[in-house]
Amino acid sequence: MTPTTDENVRAFLIAAHGDLENTKRLLAEHPEWLDITYEWAENNTETPIQAAAHVGNRPIAEYLLEQGAPLAIYTAAMLGRRDDVLRMLADDPETANARGGHGIPLISHAAMSGDVAIMQAIADAGGDLSGASGALFGAIGSGSIDMVTWLLANGADDLTVTNFQNKTLVQVATERGHEDIVALLKAHGAE
Rounded Cα–Cα distance for residues 162 and 133 (Å):
9
The tens digit of pLDDT for each residue in 117-156 reads: 999 999 999 999 999 999 999 999 999 999 999 999 999 9
The backbone torsions φ and ψ at residue 145, rounded to the nearest 5 degrees and listed phi first, read -65, -30
* Percentage of residues of the chain with pLDDT beyond 70: 99
Q: Which of 187, 191, 119 is nearest to 155 (CA)?
A: 119
- pTM as predicted: 0.93
What distances in angstroms separate CA 125 from CA 78, 84, 86, 99, 146, one per listed residue?
Answer: 17, 14, 10, 15, 20
